[in-house]
Structure 1
Amino acid sequence: MLEVIKTRRSIRTYIEKEVEEEKIMEILRAAMQAPSSKNSSPWEFAVVDDKKLLEELSRVHHKAKHIKDANKCIVVLGNRERFLKPGKWIHDLGACTENILLECTNQKLASSWVGVHPKPKVIDKVREALNLPEHLIPYSIVAIGYSNEKDYFKDKFDKNKIHRNRFE
């Protein structure tokens, strides 16, 4: 198993340390390697490092408070113009978001995913905060930074959740 899969976890506390631009570019490179239906790559990204905007995004959802303390966040956006099959973009952006989280861990960064879609009120708040054009739909926000929290591995394997063939 890849080490980043074992050690990746949501971290919501951050220290004052700048995340290097090279790391952000590697994270976005990983994001764009995600699989997508019909190879549509329906994603775009808003990288937010403005403290006032981070504060505003931290108020879009009750589980987003930690965003204000992050050094940066990446808002994953769905581009309607690239939705080739109805509903598939949701899966595509989920895979894309997971790649972001895994690459953050690979880059020794703390991260946490805040779901935006399908919550209309949250979508509207993010849309307004970022002044998004109509063809872009906010899907998720990933807070990114450095943290003093220690990594740990919690084995979540549960053989009782594995089934073969038919349920009887």
Structure 2
Amino acid sequence: MLEAIKIRRSIRTYINKKVEEEKIEEILRAAMQAPSSKGACPWEFVVVDDNEVLEKLSKCQHRARHIKYANICIVVLGNKDKFIKPGKWIQDLGASTQNLMLEATNQGLASCWVGVFPKNKVVNKVRETLNLPEKLVPYAIVPIGYSEEENVFIDRFDKSKIHRNLYKK
């Protein structure tokens, strides 16, 4: 198992240290390598490093307060023009967001997935904050930064959740 998969966890505390542009690019490259139904690649991204915008995004939903302390955040968007099959874009963006967070871990950074879609109230707040056109659907916000907390392995393996051939209690 890849080390980044083992140690990735949600971290909501960040120190005041700039994330290097090279690392941001690698994170975005990883996000765009995600599998995508019919090769649609419906993702787009907004990289936010402006403190005022980070502050506004931190108020978009009650579990997003930590965004204002991050050095950057990446907002994962779905482009409706690329939605080929209904609902598949949600899976595509989930895979993209996971890749993004795994690469952040690989780069020695902390991150935390903040859900946006399908909560219309939150979607609209993020859309307004970022001045997004109607064709772009905010899916997730991922604050990223350096942290004094470490990504450490937490064993979540549970053999009772594995079934073979048929579901058995």
Equivalent residue, structure 2, for 1:153: 153
**1:167 maps to what in 2?**
167
Q: Kindly indicate whether residue 128 of structure 2 is the aligned counterpart of residue 128 of structure 1.
A: yes
TM-score normalized by the length of structure 1: 0.99
Secondary structure of residue in 1 paired with 2:113: strand
Partners of 1:123 and 1:130 lie apart in 2 by 11
Q: Matches of 1:150 and 1:138 in 2, distance apart?
A: 29
SS at match of 1:134: coil
Query: How large is the RMSD of aligned CA atoms in angstroms?
Result: 0.6
Listed as ranges, the gaps of 5+ residues in structure 2 are none
Of 41-50 and 146-155, more deviation after overlay is shown by 146-155
Instruction: Give the whole-Å Cα distance in 2 for the aligned partners of 1:37 and 1:150.
Output: 34
Query: Would you say how many aligned residue pairs link Structure 1 and Structure 2?
Result: 168
**SS of residue in 2 equivalent to 1:74:** strand
Residue identity in the other structure for 1:6: K
The equivalent of 1:12 in structure 2 is 12
The two structures have a TM-score, normalised by structure 2, of 0.98
Instruction: Report the 3-state secondary structure (helix = DSSP H, G, I; strand = E; otherwise coil) of the residue aligned with 2:112.
Output: strand
Q: 1:54 aligns to what SS in structure 2?
A: helix
Q: Secondary structure at the match of 1:9?
A: coil
Shift of 1:153: 1.0
2:78 is paired with a residue of what secondary structure? strand
The aligned residue for residue 143 of structure 1 is 143
Which residue is 1:37 aligned to? 37
For the residues of structure 2 that align with 1:150 and 1:52, how far apart are their CA atoms?
A: 27
Tell me, what secondary structure is at the counterpart of 1:133? coil
- Which secondary structure state, in structure 2, belongs to the residue aligned with residue 68 of structure 1? helix
Dislocated runs of 4+, deviation >6 Å: none
The letter for the 2-side match of 1:119 is K
CA distance in 2, matches of 1:82, 1:37: 10
Correspondences of 1:1-168 after superposition (within 5 Å): 1-168=1-168
Give 5+ residue unaligned stretches, structure 1: none
Query: C-alpha separation between the residues in 2 aligned to 1:4 and 1:88?
Result: 26
Alpha-carbon distance between aligned partners in 1 of 2:150 and 2:37, rounded to the nearest angstrom: 37
Does the aligned pair in 1 maintain the 2:16–2:71 contact within 8 Å? yes
Q: CA deviation at 1:167?
A: 2.3
> What is the percent sequence identity of the aligned residues?
70
Verify the 8 A CA contact 2:10 2:113 in the aligned structure 1: yes
Q: Amino acid of the residue matched to residue 60 of structure 1?
A: C
